[in-house]
A = this chain, B = another copy of it.
Amino acid sequence: MAFLSTKPYKGTRDFYPSDMRIRNWMFQKLRETIQSFGYQEYDGPMLESFDLYAAKTGEEIVEQQLYWFLDKANRKMAIRPEMTPTLARMVSGKIHETPQPIRWYSVPNLWRYERPQRGRLREHWQLNVDVLGGDPLMADAEVLMVALEIMNSFGGQDKAVIRINHRKLVDFFFSEHLKLNSEISLRVTKLIDAKNKVSEEVFQKSLAELGLDQDKVNKLDQFFNASFEQIQKDFDCPGARELAELLDYLKQSGAEKQVVFDSSILRGLDYYTGTVFEVYDCSPENNRAMFGGGRYDNLVGLFGKNKLSGVGFGMGDVTLRNFLETHQLMPSEEPSVDVFVSLPHLDLREKAENLAKSLRSKSFKVMTPLEVGGFKNQLKLANKHGVRFVVLFGEDELKKGQLLVKELQTGNQEAVNEDQLVDYVTKKIRGV
């Protein structure tokens, strides 16, 4: 018989305990920050109707990257490639019972059929944060603050900046200054989004092919290199005014230094309708966009006649972990078990179990061996499992109602009265 492979499916990961600990640590920190802003968690099923994505999700994803199949009743089902359609469906389903502004987050696993590469896998987890309703600019400011505070909570204060732009400003520039129609605007946008993938020569040639003369190319160059002061002077329009107000809000929230204007942030203009932003790793060695988001209109339009505008972002676990590793912001490896209560012979099993139980009742992580063994054997077991303290039953100590407690890292060993064990461990581990 041929043996089965032990490898996970291409583009996916197994989370062994050492990786699971990091995933849980990251998600726990994310949750704490987001909850501190009063956001509530939601989740939906892994499978959704294909139609949910066919309508709004980008063409590339639906045609090339979606996992879909027919179920036994011939329903065309898809594995979720993004969370926003599920959010839209759920919000629409209870739109009249849900108080606005709606502040929701989720940390779903998402699937895309991708060629696996750095930062892009077939299965990844993605934090989704959204605000629906409320004053648009105040909501934008809050969501930007949440994104910043998340980075800061990991110690990334001076390592990440948010670059922001506004869809209405770019629209204004394309239609009023370059006099381009919306189709050409979209194609120019896509060229600019992909600019660093082609040579300057190819880029210029493509612009010319779209009908942009040298004057327009110069204007394009000026626009995409302008400071916000320059923009305000040259492009007085609703988008620029909203951006100015948003920047003012962010200043009031104390985030002035971590948010910068960048007219080249575009994020596929066919989806967003207002503020757009990207969070950048600003270290020289890893300077790149990590995640982003923006404001969208009419999230719930597919489900009925209600209208609701929102702002949100998605942040992938792979990208976040890369950032934390690059900047050495990962948690230190700590023993995963607090106490190992040894078992030298079966007669002591009841005593060992009682000791373990009393420690567990104080929320310590306590392991007992699943075999009988002497000092040496038990210490070896405890060492293998990454334990902090070992409780040993010494012959002499037992007669006096005592135990030996050994700290593996330091090698320190002390005799402790049986009825003092919980207090002793509490003091050592929690300092009280």
**A92: nearest residue on chain B (CB-CB)?**
B6
**A73: nearest residue on chain B (CB-CB)?**
B10
Cα–Cα, bound, A40→B23 (Å):
13
Q: Which of A4-25 contact B (CB under 8 A)?
A: 4-9, 12-17, 20-21, 23-24
Q: Which of A42-60 contact B (CB under 8 A)?
A: 42-49, 51-52, 55
Return the contact of A90 from the options B16, B37, B47, B368 (Cβ within 8 A): B16
Return the contact of A71 from the options B113, B131, B371 (Cβ within 8 A): B113
Cα–Cα, bound, A365→B38 (Å):
5
Return the contact of A17 from the options B5, B8, B41 (Cβ within 8 A): B41
A129 contacts the other chain (Cβ, under 8 Å)?
Answer: no
Return the contact of A252 from the options B69, B138, B139, B350 (Cβ within 8 A): B350
Neighbouring B residues of A357 by C-beta, 8 Å: 253-254
Cα–Cα, bound, A93→B19 (Å):
15
Neighbouring B residues of A52 by C-beta, 8 Å: 4
Closest Cβ of chain B to A289, distance in Å, is 26
Number of A residues with CB within 8 Å of any CB on chain B = 91
Cα–Cα, bound, A37→B46 (Å):
31
Cα–Cα, bound, A90→B7 (Å):
8
Q: Given A37-B360, A252-B350, A370-B131, decide whether A303 and B46 contact each other with a Cβ distance below 8 A.
A: no
Q: Name the residue in A363, A365, A372 with the highest tally of chain B Cβ atoms < 10 Å from its Cβ.
A: A365
Q: Is the CB of B368 within 8 A of A142?
A: yes
Q: Is the CB of A45 within 8 A of B253?
A: no
Q: Is the CB of A366 within 8 A of B20?
A: no
Contact with B along A90-108 (1 / 0, CB 8 A): 1011100001010110000
Q: Is the CB of B42 within 8 A of A16?
A: yes
Q: Is the CB of B38 within 8 A of A101?
A: no
A374 contacts the other chain (Cβ, under 8 Å)?
Answer: no
Cα–Cα, bound, A40→B20 (Å):
9
Report copies per complex.
2
Q: Is the CB of B366 within 8 A of A249?
A: no
Closest Cβ of chain B to A63, distance in Å, is 11
Cα–Cα, bound, A77→B354 (Å):
47
Neighbouring B residues of A337 by C-beta, 8 Å: 38
Q: Is the CB of A3 within 8 A of B249?
A: no
Neighbouring B residues of A370 by C-beta, 8 Å: 101, 131, 133-135, 138-139, 142
Q: Which of A86-142 contact B (CB under 8 A)?
A: 89-90, 92-94, 99, 101, 103-104, 109, 111, 113, 123, 131, 133-135, 138-139, 142
Closest Cβ of chain B to A298, distance in Å, is 13
Neighbouring B residues of A363 by C-beta, 8 Å: 32, 36
Q: Is the CB of B384 within 8 A of A99?
A: yes
Cα–Cα, bound, A304→B7 (Å):
13
A385 contacts the other chain (Cβ, under 8 Å)?
Answer: yes
Q: Is the CB of A123 within 8 A of B36?
A: no
Q: Is the CB of B46 within 8 A of A123?
A: yes
**A387: nearest residue on chain B (CB-CB)?**
B38
Q: Is the CB of A366 within 8 A of B3?
A: no
Q: Is the CB of B46 within 8 A of A46?
A: yes
